[in-house]
Structure 1
Amino acid sequence: MLQIVKRSAIFLLIALTAWVVVRAEGGAPQGGGDVPLEQLPYLENLLFQSSRFNRPADMRAVPAEHVIPILETDEPVLENAQFVLYLNPDTVNFKVQDKTTGYVFATAIDEPDAGTFTPLLSSGIGLEYINIRTNYAMRQNVGLIDTEFSVDKTIVENRVELDIYVGGFCTRRVCQQNYEGYLAGEVSLEQMINLGFIEIGIGFALHVTLTESGITAHIPFASIEESFPETIRLASLILFPGMGATHKDDVPGYMVIPDGVGALIRYEDNQGRFLVPFEERFYGGNQGIVSTRMSVTSYPLSMPVFGAVHGVKQHAFLAIIESGDANARLLAYPNGASNTPYNLIFTKFDYKQTYRQSFSSDGTGGAMRIHTSSLDDVTVHYRFLPADAADYVGMARSYQNYLISRGHLTPQTPSEGPIPIHLQVLMADSQSSFIGTRLVPMTSLEALREMVDAFMAAGLTNQTVSLLGWNQGGYSGYLPAPVRFERSIGSSRAFQATIADLQDEGHRVLLVNNYQSATEASRDVSFRNDVAEGVNRFKLTRTCETCVYTDRHLLYPFSSTRLALNHLEDYEALGVEVMFEGIGHRLFSYHDRQTHTRSEALDHYTEIYDAYQGRGHYVSPHAYVYPYITDYFHAPLFNSQLAYFDDLVPFLPIVLSGHIEMYSQFLNFNSLGRVPLLMLIDFGIYPSYILTENRSSLLRGTD
């Protein structure tokens, strides 16, 4: 009932907002009659079938012949009231059988037929390593069964502890052909080395705990050993590559990807349409290290979760990465990708990455080096959902419950007052001129007051007003800014009086600042001490020839923290709140005497989240910020709409519903008509607008 009331109120709010904006512009709504569905042209029909919308669910039952069997090689190792856990020690394949339904999820595939991927998919765990002797080449997707490995098993209460050691590995087919002869003593080790045999010498522990909701996999970082660090280094561990795997369209269902608002990849026979898998790093790319692979998404993976449905309202699992997420990659293989006939979804946890260290100022040439990208334990919870929760909605609710149980989400008491709206007002900006820059005033304090009053008169009395370019010099190039107001807009006393008036009327006032990036015009920022170096020891500077200031720098996380904490008392004295750009949305590795990981960067930013809790707000925050916020600004309405994706689903809004209020991206820039407005109502997201007093054409030459 609460959701229905909320949606109705958002609908009325959007209607009122549209009336105010149209009235302010002196225009009238334009439009024509609705086109009957049967008369929609061919391209419109394709649009409705695209990943911009959600298609009806495939309600077919999972065929009995495609239920994974329990084999003689599968040993029962643990059992509780809900599940039985089996282990095949020859492949480290765990199988989890639901005692109520008999359905089985497995971490590997029994006897797969996947070409070069067959060894990986036959194994419950895989790895990737760096061979220093072969110019730091990385060997990818190595399955345990393709190696000489040993497993020591210990059962402790409800936990199976495996100590795994990976020894020899054949890197070439001729080596594999002679491997049986090597085991029989017919081929010597020296001959095998010449044929491509290599000693990997990597060990690690894998702990699997049986819980009431499924299993938890844990890999302690301290357990990792490298016997030959001069030649072989562990790059990544691949956890449970066969979990939830299906063959082509044999099983109805889909994979869930936390891209943007949410995306599904359906189990269909793709007939070779995809050549490569979907692969993205959680929380976006790492700008601190040069990657050979560019991101293809419009939205980063903002939540460390993924899952799969086998038959809607029948069987499903949700994977939640509790630790190790800052250096994890999500891979989703629609069948046909990499010539595999299977639908796959799993994670790779990166421990080391290669980069080129240049010794010249222009960044050319150099030698290969290794960056230790993670020092974290890996913990992943696999939750097997009951039938009534076996869909993307059930997954979102399960993740929400997990966050609540960890204290990362706090239920909000529904407000009986007016529905909120977010208004961002650009006060001033800076513009390139013939010599240097000049200020471009965009909104006076009097006009700001008039805007708020106009929305108030239309019944929009619950406003969050964020001020952009309030600082000396305006917005472009002058952040991070100390708490000093732009004098051409108004004196400090006038700003304070306006803010106090708005707050007295019940509105929130936020000052927008950016403590993560800077330019040469930024105050209190030292290029030498505050601008971060990447792991290759080059400054993290991006050049933009059309920007007001051509060089934009990323700051060290500890410098961002120092600046933000230094300004906290000034914000408190004003009684205002702060909207942070960048922080909460970007993590990167960096070099400061030694290389540091993204997790170490997050530790610094967490000092800001803690200090500003109740006062700090963030643009498109990732899941690690949820414990510190009550609202989410610039919430996505779409996913990246890649060819992989079949459906758009409100996964993110369902997770945050009732706990964190969400505000849309600016509706001024909506070019899709009424559809996004209807999505706001459907998803329970409040509208946002960016406003100025003066015409936007004056912003030519600004950022």
Structure 2
Amino acid sequence: MRRISKKLKLSALAVVVGTTLVTLQSGPLLNAAENTPAANAPAASTNANAPAAGQGAQAPAQAAAPTAAQQAAAQKEMLDESKFQVMAENANFKLWVDSTTAHFKLEDKRSGQVLRSYPDPEQWPNETITGTWRNNLRSPVMLEYIDMANYKSQPKIISWMEDKGTLEGFQKTADGFKVTFNFAGTQFKIPVEVKLTTDYVETKIIDKDIKEGKLSLLNLKLYPLFGAQPSLGQDGYMVLPDGSGALIHFKPNRTNDKSVYRENMYGNDISFFVERTNRQKVTMPVFGMKSGSQAFVSVITAGEEYSKLFASPAGAFGTYNWVTPEWQYRIKFFQNTSKKGSAGFYTYSKQMYTTEQRAVRYYMLEPAKADYVGMASKYREYLMKEKGLKPIKPESTKVPFFLDILGADLKEGLLWDKYLKGTTTSEAMEMVKRLYGLGIENMAIQYSGWQNGSYSSYGGLFPVDKRLGGNDGMKQFIDYAHSLKIPVLLNANYSYNNTNGDGFSPRYDGSRNLAGRLLQEENFNNRAKITLVSPKFSAKTLAKDLEKYKQLGADGLFFEDGTGRFLNSDFNDRYKTNRTESMGVQQEMLKEAKETLGHVSIDRPNFYGISNITHLHRLPQDYSYDLFVDESIPFAQIALHGLVTYTSNWSNLRDQYQGEFLRSIEYGAYPSFIFTNSKSGDMKGAYSIWYYSMNYRDWEAKAVEEYQRFNQALGDVQDKAIIGHRTLAPNVMETEYEGGKKVIVNYNAQQYTNGSLKVPAQDFIVVTGGKTS
């Protein structure tokens, strides 16, 4: 149930501005707020594929293939690995370090494989890049800065080597080393630590000890070419957390393509300037690279809220493929000089945003697991060890059927708003009874639009609207659902307020951007203002409401369009929260809800809340279709299956019905429908709900049929991990679970045949113990 206006219905419409592909993103109000002058500034085109600010002025030059003399000179540029010293060692790894540059290499004692923090010396003589970027690629640190005292100053990039940097305080530690990179010319000092464990090597930036001279730090990349490899026609790819996961395959013909991937971790912060792209949000702080039989996966474990993910395919910046976090310290914003917000200028925050630390773990994978499945499995281990996720315990041999029920919404009337009734609590009872009787027994219900006023009423949620049955009607419905062992979660939105409920005052309790401007969204239909709520006010309101949910018997909350999904700073002086603090506030809200009620569901969540999420609703199962990104993979689903439940889009609202059904089967997602008791089309003109085909009677036969197919594929592997995923033939995919069960999906219009194996067109089969079904 999205807050979707006509303006946002243009979700699939792409507008070309110069060389920039700008997409009006579908989804909630918060996405809309990102694209309005009220939230930030007048529309400004941004090249989604461009390098960071300032990089365009220093575009790397690509030369012809190097001569023998040039190759010999290039060899001399590389580090002499014979002079490296062992800084730490354990049963699995050795950490070798060069004390003149603080570059290091990680040696796997079991396989003999090596990962380096610098370009592979054997391949470096073939590097064709020239100019300052030749030093940048060999440098352990590169950063971007600006002279804030000069209003005409533009961002510039400098690397430690290019700036003729030195090392300060190089010191061996119990499990690695620490050092400060001193930039001689620009006078920046960047303290770092590198630590080795039996499972990974970790790099860490100590923010509190960073020093600036007269210049201001914007962002930096630490050991950006860790594990980097040229293409050379080898079997390799970079793994990005784009959507469900995506691959950039190694290709040698990218020399004329300067496109890079550069996206905010956990999405944009609407209190600052928003770079518009057509990409899906990055929700997982993880990335990786495979090169032949060697692979690593990286997890950003601290400070990721102030980072971007930067990936450079071969040919963009050198012949190497490399991917790294770009740590953000100052953020661009629009300073208004008029009340309407249309006049002003772009600048950077004076304050340097710091976190306690910024850390990345690099896990080197065994050769037998050197692929994206191995990377996702390692991330799964991390989620279990570090975030507390545990295998679920299915209560039924049938998969859960996630049923979203819509209560009511509003429509503009002649004199006052018209109440559009979708499903009363008594009608919801009949709906559940009917579906249960048809064989959909293991349901999980999320009830939205129940609040006082309707789905489009934010703030002062209680009591349940009496036109739907009031508190008593909701309690009776939940009691009935419980008699069938069906949990009921209530939709809870604490991120917006347009009613002034809960004692909310837009002036005092609304979120503000860095320029001090109140963050509001305008409803397309009636031009009414909807204010974004300060996160700390949201937390205070939720704490007061939890007991009310408990009294109704609710089993949990379904957070949507805010908490757990969007991460924004707030510059309201009463509730000021930076991005780190805002993340902490949300995590605490999710924790309180889970501890009080038992369950927490979030629509398309960021993974910073994963410890307290029991269901991920409408988890992406696709990628952003950048021209240089090659394919989608179920990275998130491989990491999560058997630990938490997840769905893809509602079945009755798919764009490509059969194809998306098969993708859900392939990715191990569970069925989900959004239903009303009202006739299809009755919500036409609603402020927020623009979905028409929701009448459950129109869909019940299809829902039953689809539920049976989901059970065939997934019923007996609900608590099993995905241990294999591969392409058998073009558009034929195989997913394997613990225990050996395989699900083979054929997206083609013709039957797939391989020996005795036959998969019907546009269908799937299950293989268990060598037998198909």
| TMscore range, shorter length | 0.7 to 0.9
- 1:488 aligns with 467
Q: 2:117 touches 2:226 (CA, 8 Å); kept in 1?
A: yes
Report the Cα offset of residue 548 of structure 1: 4.5
Output the aligned Cα RMSD: 2.2
Structure 2 distance, partners of 1:69, 1:351, is 30
- 1:295 aligns with 277
Structure 1 distance, partners of 2:397, 2:503, is 42
Cα 1:138–1:239, aligned 2, differ >3 Å: closer, same or farther?
farther
Report the Cα offset of residue 90 of structure 1: 3.9
Deviations 1:632-685 (A, max 9, x none): 111122122222221211111111121111122211111223222222222221
Which residue identity lines up with residue 129 of structure 2 in the other structure?
Answer: A
- 1:142 aligns with 158
Structure 2 distance, partners of 1:144, 1:126, is 6
Report the Cα offset of residue 140 of structure 1: 4.4
**SS of alignment partner, residue 158 of structure 2:** strand
Which residue identity lines up with residue 92 of structure 1 in the other structure?
Answer: A
Q: 2:510 touches 2:572 (CA, 8 Å); kept in 1?
A: no
- 2:135 aligns with 119
Q: How does 1:224-373 map to 2 (within 5 A)?
A: 224-226=210-212, 228=213, 231-272=214-255, 274-291=257-274, 293-297=275-279, 299-311=280-292, 314-338=293-317, 340-363=318-341, 364-365=343-344, 368=347, 369-373=349-353
- 1:601 aligns with 582
Q: 1:408 touches 1:626 (CA, 8 Å); kept in 2?
A: no
Unaligned runs of 5+ in 1: 1-67, 169-199
Which residue identity lines up with residue 144 of structure 1 in the other structure?
Answer: W
Structure 2 distance, partners of 1:639, 1:318, is 19
Q: 2:651 touches 2:657 (CA, 8 Å); kept in 1?
A: no
Q: How does 1:598-637 map to 2 (within 5 A)?
A: 598-613=579-594, 614-637=598-621
Report the Cα offset of residue 419 of structure 1: 1.5
Which of 412, 427, 447 in structure 2 is aligned with 1:467?
Answer: 447
Which residue identity lines up with residue 235 of structure 1 in the other structure?
Answer: L
**SS of alignment partner, residue 222 of structure 1:** helix
Report the Cα offset of residue 84 of structure 1: 2.5
Which residue identity lines up with residue 278 of structure 2 in the other structure?
Answer: V
Report the Cα offset of residue 394 of structure 1: 0.7
TM-score by length of 2: 0.74
Cα 1:472–1:459, aligned 2, differ >3 Å: closer, same or farther?
same
Cα 1:414–1:506, aligned 2, differ >3 Å: closer, same or farther?
closer
Report runs of 4+ in structure 1 exceeding 4 Å deviation. 520-523
- 2:548 aligns with 570
- 1:517 aligns with 496
Report the Cα offset of residue 378 of structure 1: 0.7
Q: 1:479 touches 1:518 (CA, 8 Å); kept in 2?
A: yes
Which residue identity lines up with residue 583 of structure 1 in the other structure?
Answer: T
Structure 2 distance, partners of 1:70, 1:167, is 23
Which of 159, 177, 183 in structure 2 is aligned with 1:166?
Answer: 183
- 1:108 aligns with 118
Unaligned runs of 5+ in 2: 1-77, 689-773
Q: 1:421 touches 1:464 (CA, 8 Å); kept in 2?
A: yes
Q: 1:209 touches 1:215 (CA, 8 Å); kept in 2?
A: yes
User: How many residues are matched?
Assistant: 596
Which residue identity lines up with residue 345 of structure 1 in the other structure?
Answer: V
- 2:95 aligns with 85
Structure 2 distance, partners of 1:428, 1:541, is 23
Which of 141, 145, 150 in structure 2 is aligned with 1:129?
Answer: 145
Structure 1 distance, partners of 2:198, 2:333, is 43
Structure 2 distance, partners of 1:219, 1:565, is 35
Q: Relative contact order: is structure 1 or structure 2 higher (C-alpha 8 Å, sep ≥ 6)?
A: 1
Q: 2:262 touches 2:310 (CA, 8 Å); kept in 1?
A: yes
2:522 equivalent to 1:543 = yes
Question: Which stretch has the larger CA shift, 619-628 or 113-122?
Answer: 113-122
Q: 1:483 touches 1:571 (CA, 8 Å); kept in 2?
A: no
Question: Which stretch has the larger CA shift, 561-570 or 639-648?
Answer: 639-648
- 1:189 aligns with none
Which residue identity lines up with residue 222 of structure 1 in the other structure?
Answer: K
- 2:201 aligns with 215
Which of 163, 177, 191 in structure 2 is aligned with 1:205?
Answer: 191
**SS of alignment partner, residue 134 of structure 2:** helix
Structure 2 distance, partners of 1:396, 1:512, is 31
Question: Which stretch has the larger CA shift, 88-97 or 151-160?
Answer: 88-97
- 1:532 aligns with 511
Q: 1:323 touches 1:379 (CA, 8 Å); kept in 2?
A: yes
Structure 1 distance, partners of 2:227, 2:676, is 51
Structure 1 distance, partners of 2:624, 2:337, is 38
Q: 1:91 touches 1:122 (CA, 8 Å); kept in 2?
A: no
Structure 2 distance, partners of 1:287, 1:428, is 29
Which residue identity lines up with residue 90 of structure 2 in the other structure?
Answer: N
Structure 1 distance, partners of 2:353, 2:519, is 17
- 2:486 aligns with 507
Q: How does 1:653-664 map to 2 (within 5 A)?
A: 653-664=637-648
Structure 2 distance, partners of 1:549, 1:425, is 27
Which of 89, 101, 104 in structure 2 is aligned with 1:94?
Answer: 104
2:436 equivalent to 1:456 = yes
Which residue identity lines up with residue 593 of structure 2 in the other structure?
Answer: Y
Structure 2 distance, partners of 1:365, 1:663, is 43
Q: 1:481 touches 1:513 (CA, 8 Å); kept in 2?
A: no
Structure 1 distance, partners of 2:346, 2:422, is 50
**SS of alignment partner, residue 344 of structure 2:** coil
Which residue identity lines up with residue 571 of structure 1 in the other structure?
Answer: Y
Which of 555, 558, 561 in structure 2 is aligned with 1:579?
Answer: 558
- 2:10 aligns with none
Deviations 1:68-101 (A, max 9, x none): 9973454443333322322234443222222333
Report the Cα offset of residue 370 of structure 1: 2.3
Report the Cα offset of residue 271 of structure 1: 3.6
Structure 2 distance, partners of 1:661, 1:627, is 13
**SS of alignment partner, residue 129 of structure 1:** strand
Q: 2:387 touches 2:610 (CA, 8 Å); kept in 1?
A: no
Which residue identity lines up with residue 283 of structure 2 in the other structure?
Answer: S
Structure 1 distance, partners of 2:188, 2:250, is 36
**SS of alignment partner, residue 350 of structure 2:** strand
Structure 2 distance, partners of 1:415, 1:240, is 47
Cα 1:214–1:485, aligned 2, differ >3 Å: closer, same or farther?
closer
- 2:685 aligns with 701
TM-score by length of 1: 0.81
Report the Cα offset of residue 158 of structure 1: 1.5
Q: 2:171 touches 2:178 (CA, 8 Å); kept in 1?
A: yes
Structure 1 distance, partners of 2:458, 2:253, is 48
**SS of alignment partner, residue 145 of structure 1:** coil
Which residue identity lines up with residue 111 of structure 2 in the other structure?
Answer: T
Which residue identity lines up with residue 696 of structure 1 in the other structure?
Answer: S
Structure 2 distance, partners of 1:142, 1:634, is 42
Which residue identity lines up with residue 109 of structure 2 in the other structure?
Answer: K
Q: 2:191 touches 2:209 (CA, 8 Å); kept in 1?
A: yes
Structure 2 distance, partners of 1:365, 1:684, is 49
Report the Cα offset of residue 382 of structure 1: 0.5
Q: 1:422 touches 1:465 (CA, 8 Å); kept in 2?
A: yes
- 1:50 aligns with none
Q: 1:258 touches 1:305 (CA, 8 Å); kept in 2?
A: yes
